[in-house]
A and B are shown apart, each in its own frame.
Chain A
């Protein structure tokens, strides 16, 4: 394995992405490498250590918005 290189995360397989959904509104999410992003409300779910964190309390608000309370 190369040194000093962050091992890239395997992209989420398309067939898996199909059955991923936002826990709030159940809309489809897109894989933006570091986050899964809801196509409807824009909430950003972080991917930590390769594991999507789909907890609403841990989600980041859509880019440019204040935190969703």
Chain B
């Protein structure tokens, strides 16, 4: 997923209109895909990052020592009103315990007419980066709970959340991240690390069930090397 999110970050920053001279915060920074893009555009001292997870925050601190990074939840941001020119949340809104509260907090810490922007993988459609994984998992176990029910993962829902959060002039688009996989193992490997709901599902299976899932994924995917395009629903609004 890291390679897909790295491809997404510059597109999200463009869509949010991030440019030199601004002070911008990366909400739910994870291992720092967006933080890295912001540092390139703004310089590290104009970049702020928060994530509730200790390991992610430690990674970002290590990668970008001059970036102000803190452990914090999107729903309760440790900043005063109007502190930033923009707030970005890449692949985060679907993990928020209260997405509308999180987006509304992002609007609070952004100045008037500043930009709030976010994107979520198209988990409900057939063009998410995990579509093949969840399709195979669903064939082998009809009761599997994939990520399509998550906030913002279906067409139009993210923009709806933006409007409910009180953001103005909401616009929606779809961004596409394309990654070339040299081999099937190159695609499958990240799932075995247990990261995210898909990784947790793969790691939680018994070995023979996991092997079954892996082989069904191999059948569904094109012959390697293959290119996969993943779509992310994206929205921006003004604070």
Contact = CB atoms under 8 A, between A and B. Distances in A.
Given A52-B70, A54-B72, A55-B52, A23 B78 contact: yes
Given A19-B83, A49-B58, A50-B61, A55 B71 contact: yes
Contact of B76 (A16, A28, A49, A56): A56
A23 B73 contact: yes
Nearest to B105: A23
B70 A16 contact: no
A17 to B, nearest CB: 10
B72 A55 contact: yes
Interface in B44-80: 50, 52, 54, 57-58, 61, 68-73, 76-80
Nearest to B83: A19
Contacts of A20: 78-79
B71 A51 contact: yes
Chain A, interface residues (CB within 8 Å), range: 20 to 34
A22 B37 CA distance: 27
Given A51-B57, A51-B58, A55-B73, A16 B68 contact: yes
B71 A53 contact: yes
B186 interface: no
A53 B73 CA distance: 10
Interface in B62-109: 68-73, 76-81, 83
Interface string A27-69: 0110000000000000001001111111110100000000000
B103 to A, nearest CB: 16
Residue of A19, A20, A45 with most chain B CB atoms under a 10 A cut-off: A19
B71 A52 contact: yes
A26 interface: yes
Nearest to B84: A19
A63 B204 CA distance: 43
Contacts of B79: 19-21, 26
Residue of A20, A28, A55 with most chain B CB atoms under a 10 A cut-off: A55
B76 A24 contact: yes
B77 A19 contact: no
The 9 residue pairs across chains A and B that have the minimum distance between CB atoms = A54-B78, A23-B76, A54-B72, A21-B80, A23-B78, A53-B71, A52-B70, A19-B83, A54-B70
Interface of A: 16, 19-24, 26, 28-29, 45, 48-56, 58
14 contacts: A19-B83, A21-B79, A22-B78, A26-B79, A29-B78, A51-B69, A51-B70, A53-B71, A54-B70, A54-B72, A55-B52, A55-B71, A55-B76, A56-B76
Given A19-B83, A54-B50, 6 more contacts: A19-B80, A20-B78, A21-B78, A23-B76, A55-B76, A56-B76
